[in-house]
Amino acid sequence: MRITAFNLMGRVARTAGMTLTLVIISLFLNAPVTTAQIAVKGEIIYTMDGDPIQNGVVLIRDGKIERVGSESRVRIPSGYTVHEAKVVTPGFIDGRSVVGLAGYYNQQHDQDQLDTSGPIQPELRALDAYNAREYLVAFLNSKGITTIHTGHGPGAVISGQTMLVKTAGSTVDEALLDSTTAIAITLGSGVRNNFSSPGTRSRLVAVLRQELIRAKDYAEKRAAGENQTRSLKMEVLADLMDGKISAMVTAHTASDIITALRIQREFGFRMLLDGAAEAYLVLDEIREAGVPVILHPPMIRPFGEAKNASYETAALLKEAGIPFTFQSGFEGYVPKSRVVRYEAAIAAANGLGMENALYAATLGAAQILGVENRIGSLERGKDADLVLFDGDPFEYLTLVNAVIVDGVVVYPGE
């Protein structure tokens, strides 16, 4: 009994520091939002809209970027609060996550990213399960991630919907950027781990195609105003057929990627290719299809269908002219989230280069997710989402001086 108590006390002591840190971060991120007039000065500012600016200034007013330029050309008006940093970038965007549905504790009560009651559930809304106060949301924000594309995870034929949220705000409504971004679809043997049927790849694809055929028929009748029994499942899939939302298809092996592209051609929906560990084997096919890639985390554990993952895939996608971004992905163990900034750093060091990696994790991601008019670059009129660093964002020891979301300093720095 004494040993058990001692072990318990040890665990409490070891986790106390992390818990306190997360609580403090959460308090900052969930503080009341007020508008502010801010001037951010950086020794170098990566706007993603042209060349980097040496000794630059970003003016922020009422949550939006007011002006960007060099200190010699941009005067800071009186009354603006000034923040300074060595490096300033747009907020990083996580291209695919389950954070907010999957939680820090990895217990049943905070794991809503995959419902195993059925293999096809497009009607499940991420909006209804997202916890804006989840510690992992605050943790990602503290690392410079200001927007996440999150929702239902891989592992079902259709596991549910995804959405875009900012990593600030105390409710989903405050954080929301786009309520329905994509439908999450999985191809490959991973579905068999969660469901007894469908069992084989051929069966999985047949089941998916049958649902899409039904959806196409439903969409045509809906457009014609014909009477039909309303179905939440069919409404969502009909929106996919009508181009209102995208399908995010998780496929790692070259054969599954080719299958995904074949289905996309057959039904003509918009598609995002997710994971794509063996994308380097079918670059020509992906480019010809015009499908962007939400690449697996470069540091993904290379096993199972991702056993042939490579650090160099991002560089090869760039060389092939295929739009791509990075993701934190889905982890089956604590803490269920990687940091996309660190993942992009690995790609940068393996042939991609610093500025290409930064572009892919900011404006490139915004373009792929269809929100480049609001986020991804530091341009006049866009949301004021910025990260202030004390050095190279891709150096592991670089500290975050501040994170600004919608013109508010939501994380005051390390």
Structurally, the chain folds into a number of domains equal to 2
In terms of DSSP bridges, do strands 37-45 and 81-90 run parallel, antiparallel, or are they unpaired? parallel
CA atoms within 13 A on the CB side of 40: 36
pLDDT given for residue 325 in this prediction = 98
Percent of the chain with pLDDT over 70: 91
Identify the CATH number of the domain in which residue 396 sits: 2.30.40.10
The verdict on 361 and 387 lying in the same domain is no
Give 109's contacts (C-beta < 8 A, 6+ positions apart): 103
Instruction: Compute the CA torsion angle 384, 274, 237, 336 (nearest 10 deg).
Output: -70
Query: Mean pLDDT throughout 132-151?
Result: 97
Give 399's contacts (C-beta < 8 A, 6+ positions apart): 389, 390, 391, 413, 414
Q: Comparing 297 with 335, which gets the higher pLDDT? A: 297
pLDDT tens digits along 159-215: 999 999 999 999 999 999 999 999 999 999 889 888 877 889 999 999 999 999 999
Query: Mean pLDDT throughout 135-140?
Result: 96
**What whole-number distance in Å separates Cα of residue 11 and Cα of residue 83?**
39
The verdict on 247 and 391 lying in the same domain is no
Residue 274 has pLDDT above 50, yes or no: yes
pLDDT given for residue 334 in this prediction = 66
Of 93, 104, 101, give the one whose Cα is nearest residue 22.
104
pLDDT given for residue 199 in this prediction = 84
Distances (CA, A) of 263 to 237, 255, 260, 269, 351: 14, 13, 5, 9, 32
To the question of pTM greater than 0.85 for the whole model, the response is yes
The verdict on 403 and 363 lying in the same domain is no
In a domain, 26, yes or no: no
Identify the CATH number of the domain in which residue 288 sits: 3.20.20.140
In a domain, 334, yes or no: yes
pLDDT given for residue 3 in this prediction = 37
**What whole-number distance in Å separates Cα of residue 411 and Cα of residue 387?**
10
Q: Residue 404 in contact with residue 412, Cβ under 8 Å?
A: no
Residue 97 has pLDDT above 70, yes or no: yes
Q: What is the mean pLDDT of the chain?
A: 92
Q: Residue 97 in contact with residue 328, Cβ under 8 Å?
A: yes
In a domain, 2, yes or no: no
Query: Mean pLDDT throughout 352-360?
Result: 98
The verdict on 105 and 193 lying in the same domain is yes
In a domain, 297, yes or no: yes
In a domain, 19, yes or no: no
Q: Residue 341 in contact with residue 396, Cβ under 8 Å?
A: no
Residue 34 has pLDDT above 60, yes or no: no
The verdict on 56 and 167 lying in the same domain is no
The verdict on 83 and 103 lying in the same domain is no
pLDDT tens digits along 103-136: 988 888 899 999 999 999 999 999 999 999 999 9
Residue 146, domain extent: 92-368
The verdict on 299 and 361 lying in the same domain is yes
pLDDT given for residue 12 in this prediction = 39
Q: Of 190-194, 247-251, 307-311, 313-317, which range is least confident?
A: 190-194
**What whole-number distance in Å separates Cα of residue 49 and Cα of residue 359?**
10
In a domain, 18, yes or no: no
In a domain, 219, yes or no: yes
Query: Mean pLDDT throughout 213-228?
Result: 97
The verdict on 388 and 354 lying in the same domain is no
Under DSSP, the state recorded for 35 is -
The verdict on 149 and 200 lying in the same domain is yes
Strand partners, 88: 45, 388
The verdict on 50 and 152 lying in the same domain is no
**What whole-number distance in Å separates Cα of residue 120 and Cα of residue 105?**
27
Residue 17 has pLDDT above 80, yes or no: no
In a domain, 374, yes or no: no
The verdict on 109 and 81 lying in the same domain is no
The verdict on 292 and 393 lying in the same domain is no
pLDDT tens digits along 45-85: 999 999 999 999 999 999 999 999 999 999 999 999 999 99
